Amino acid sequence: MNHIVVIGSCNMDIVVLADKRPVAGETILGNELHIAHGGKGANQAVAAARVGANVTMVGCIGNDAYGEMIRTNLINNHINVDYLVTLDDVTTGTAHITLAEGDNSIIVIPGANARVDESIVDNAWSAIEQADLVMVQNEIPISTIEYIVRRCAAANIKVLLNPAPAANLDPQWMELATYITPNEHELSALYPGQDTTETVLAHSGKIIVTLGKQGVGIGENGAFRIIPGFSVTPVDTTGAGDTFNGAFAKAIVNGESLDNALRYGNAAAALSIQALGAQEGMPTHAAVTAFLAEHA
């Protein structure tokens, strides 16, 4: 029980704090630089491990300083890195993040993440086939995501697909995933021109739409229902969705009800945005439990 395998990206986040975003052709002075651990895959792995899941990370890093820092950080978070492959001819993934005017904007350079292919998945299959849940996001090649979703479905292994960043995936294989957790923007990329509520209702029990500080929306018994989020003062919302996914996943593999697991994920996300950096504020199980007790 409690074993989660994350197959996804590992990035080093290069975070710039500034009062505003420069317009095209403009140069401005920023305020601070932070080098922080990130990548949607690694973030979700760390979020799940912090709250007590037994996590294996499958992915690729470059043979460089950032890659080594990422491997060490995962180990320090008690994550199994036996299937984290170091590649010699490519750089570690980086994300270039501007924090300004209360929000972030991000450019991701995939680097080694673009090399997470079928052979990397096959190499980790002995861990994957023992997983209670496999988590995957859109920062590795779409063809690999399709391979993971199809192969896990054939082997009766549950998959949580977080389709971020936004991409148009083929519903034929995408809907083989057990859970799909887009935000509203990602949902419209998946089902162009369709209404959010109707799409969620048409995939009740599968699609969980994340709605920022509002919480998350699900379909149940023909009705759209929101499990509310928690109101906190944010410092940095980077990685909030990843924290939700990791904490929700851990609660689900621990046998919690859907409602309890969603509330747990919302609480973890609210706690995580109170620190700078995607992983810095990710809470422990004790912190989430205390927060939920305070907000009962």
CB closer to ligand RIB out of 95 and 157:
95
Cα(32)–Cα(14) distance, integer angstroms: 11
Known active-site residue 242: yes
Residues 61, 81 contacting (CB under 8 angstroms): no
Kindly tell me which of 114 and 258 has the beta carbon lying closer to ligand RIB.
114
Of the candidates 13, 64, 236, 242, the residue annotated as catalytic is 242
Chain center to CA of 248: 11
By CB under 6 A, the residues from 248 to 287 that bind ligand RIB are 278
Q: Does 38 bind ligand RIB (CB under 6 A)?
A: yes
Annotate 26-61 with b (16+ C-beta within 10 A) or e (fewer): eeeeeeeeeebbbbbbbbbbbbbbbbbbbbbbbbbb
From the CB of 201, what's the least distance to ligand RIB, in Å? 27
Does 292 bind ligand RIB (CB under 6 A)? Our answer is: no
Under the criterion CB under 6 A, does residue 243 sit at the interface with ligand RIB? no
Measured distance CA(50)–CA(284) in Å, rounded = 5
Rounded to whole angstroms, the Cα distance separating 137 from 179 reads 12
**Closest CB to ligand RIB belongs to which residue?**
38
The nearer residue to ligand RIB, 110 or 219, going by C-beta atoms, is 110
40 contributes a contact to ligand RIB by CB under 6 A: yes
Smaller CB separation from ligand RIB, 40 or 203: 40
Residue 19 Cβ vs ligand RIB, minimum distance, rounded to whole Å: 22
Residue 231, classified by CB atoms within 10 Å of its CB into exposed (0-12), middle (13-18) or buried (19+), is exposed
Contact 232, 274 (CB under 8 A): yes
| Residue 258: count of CB within 10 angstroms of its CB | 16
- Give 233's strand partners: none
Give whole-number Cα distances, 86 to 14, 80, 154, 258, in Å.
21, 14, 29, 37
Among 56, 238, 243, 266, binds ligand RIB (CB under 6 A): 238
- Residues with Cβ within 8 Å of 221's Cβ and at least 6 positions away in sequence, in order, are none
The count of residues interacting with ligand RIB (CB under 6 A) is 15
Task: Measure the CA–CA gap between 205 and 224, rounded to whole angstroms.
Answer: 11
Minimum distance, C-beta of residue 186 to ligand RIB, in the bound complex (Å): 12
User: Applying CB under 6 A, does 8 fall inside the site for ligand RIB?
Assistant: no
Q: For ligand RIB, what does the binding mask look like between residues 75 and 104, x meaning CB under 6 A?
A: --------------------x---------
- Residue number, 4 or 42, with CB nearest to ligand RIB: 42
Q: Site residues for ligand RIB, window 103-142 (CB under 6 A)?
A: 106, 108, 139
Residue closer to ligand RIB, measured from CB, 182 or 219: 182
* 246 near ligand RIB, rule: CB under 6 A: no
**What is the closest distance, in whole angstroms, from the C-beta atom of residue 106 to ligand RIB in the complex?**
5
What is the signed CA dihedral for 47, 271, 210, 54, rounded to 10 degrees?
20
- Between helix 65-76 and helix 40-50 the angle, nearest 10°, is 20
Among 8, 13, 120, 145, binds ligand RIB (CB under 6 A): 13
Binding region for ligand RIB (CB under 6 A):
11, 13, 38-40, 43, 95, 106, 108, 139, 238-239, 241-242, 278
Residues with a known catalytic role: 242
